Amino acid sequence: MSTEPPVVFILPQVKASLEAEVKRASVSTGLAGGLLFGHPLDERRRLVVGWARPRPEVRFGEKDFNLDQSRTSEQLDQARKLAPEAHYCGVWYIHRTPDTDLTDEEWQQTQSVLEDPDFRFNDLVCLVICAYFGDLTIHASSFDKYHSARGQFPAPTHLLLTTDSLPDSTQVGQARPSTAVPVSTDWYKSPDVARRLNREHERLVEKYHVEAGLDADDRMVFRLMPREGYGKLTFYLACGPGFPDDGPIAFLMVGGKPHPLFSPSLTIWSAEHWLVEVADDMVEWLTWSLDDYLAAAEEALDQGVYQVAVDWLTIVLSINPRAPRAARLLAQAQARLG
């Protein structure tokens, strides 16, 4: 068995979405966290391709925590679109102290998950996300199932983005880095790129109301609203230098700031794909995220950030006009805005 420290690889979009979740949820009290999805690359290396935060009724962090796999099966299915081998591979926390060690509460919760026969962990990668005094860092620990039985604490673990030191491509499968392309001015005026962008626009307008323009970072941004259904739902795809070899980024505007979006089609992007495929996939993923967006709106209301709450609730109601409590919460937020 290797004596070298273990290494955890995490997809950049997974790390970014976890960081966004921490910023959203760090104001809450008590133990907050959830599960990780991924798989071993070999004896020493693990790849994290997804995460889930259990719903409040599951009581994550409580002594009577009990999570049946059926409550996270949908998130696991989504993770398997990125890596078919993905399974439950760990636990993540919002860790509120400068010490990298797990707190007693976190350790007890980790043990309860690790020993749960529903999950059948062979080993566990525990990512600790620290939001101490507003600073956001991620550090990782790992241990196998025997650590728990022996009462041993996790060992420090190297945490790398897949683009920092990419594992062998045959093992990572669809997780690949973007091709490095030097930034150039007027990249979108190249004849080949201009033709491609025009064709992308033609395909998008068949299904979406489209506004296109350059932003301050010299990216071509497509503002999209579905032509059928989804009310006022608006989201954005932005292409930069390197397109179409490098894929777009996707985001929503919430409180005047971009909120990143992720989906399998973004991760597996290649020049053979089209933006309309990403857009269609994005609508499906937005639907899947409704519970998270509703929770974000409720937290914004509690914090008095009413425009943010209005933006989240508008998104929720655009996707599902009958979403429980959403209309009532929107009325409350709009009334506070005056």
Q: Could you give the 3-state DSSP secondary structure of residue 9?
A: strand
Interatomic CA distance for residues 35 and 52, integer angstroms: 5
Cis amide bond preceding 56, omega within 30: no
pLDDT at residue 319 greater than cutoff 80? yes
pTM score of the predicted model: 0.53
Non-local (6+) Cβ contacts of 144 within 8 A are 122, 123, 124
Q: State percent of the chain over pLDDT 70.
A: 74
Q: Could you give the 3-state DSSP secondary structure of residue 296?
A: helix
Interatomic CA distance for residues 34 and 195, integer angstroms: 44
Q: Are strands 123-132 and 135-144 parallel, antiparallel or unpaired?
A: antiparallel
Beta bridge partners of 136: 131
Count of CB atoms situated within 10 Å of the CB of 31? 18
Q: Give 233-287 pLDDT, tens digit per residue.
A: 999 999 998 899 888 999 998 888 888 887 777 777 889 999 999 999 888 888 8
| Chain centre distance of CA 301 | 23
Q: Sorting pLDDT into bands at 50, 70 and 90, what band is 73?
A: confident
Q: Give 132-143 pLDDT, tens digit per residue.
A: 656 677 777 776
**Runs of H (alpha helix) within 26-103:** 73-82
- Does the domain made of 7-172 have the CATH classification 3.40.140.10? yes
Strand order in the sheet with 208-214: 208-214, 220-226, 235-239, 249-254, 257-261
Instruction: Give the tokens for residue 55.
Output: 């719903």
Evaluate whether 323 touches 316 at the Cβ level (below 8 Å): yes
The pLDDT value given to residue 108 = 74
Evaluate whether 138 touches 15 at the Cβ level (below 8 Å): yes
Evaluate whether 228 touches 242 at the Cβ level (below 8 Å): no
The pLDDT value given to residue 180 = 34
Given 2.20.28, 2.60.40, 3.10.110, 3.40.50, which CATH number is that of 187-288?
3.10.110
Interatomic CA distance for residues 300 and 132, integer angstroms: 21
Evaluate whether 269 touches 278 at the Cβ level (below 8 Å): yes
Q: Give 224-245 pLDDT, tens digit per residue.
A: 999 988 888 999 999 998 899 8
The pLDDT value given to residue 177 = 35
Computed over every residue of the chain, the mean pLDDT equals: 77
Q: Give 160-208 pLDDT, tens digit per residue.
A: 776 544 444 333 433 333 333 334 458 998 999 999 999 999 999 999 9
Evaluate whether 92 touches 38 at the Cβ level (below 8 Å): no
Non-local (6+) Cβ contacts of 46 within 8 A are 6, 7, 8, 9, 38, 39, 40, 89, 123, 125, 142
For the chain, the helix, strand and coil percentages under 3-state DSSP, each to the nearest 5? 35, 25, 35
| Domain limits, the chain | 7-172, 187-288, 290-337
Q: Could you give the 3-state DSSP secondary structure of residue 209?
A: strand
Interatomic CA distance for residues 336 and 33, integer angstroms: 31
Interatomic CA distance for residues 312 and 280, integer angstroms: 20
Interatomic CA distance for residues 311 and 333, integer angstroms: 10
Q: Sorting pLDDT into bands at 50, 70 and 90, what band is 49?
A: confident
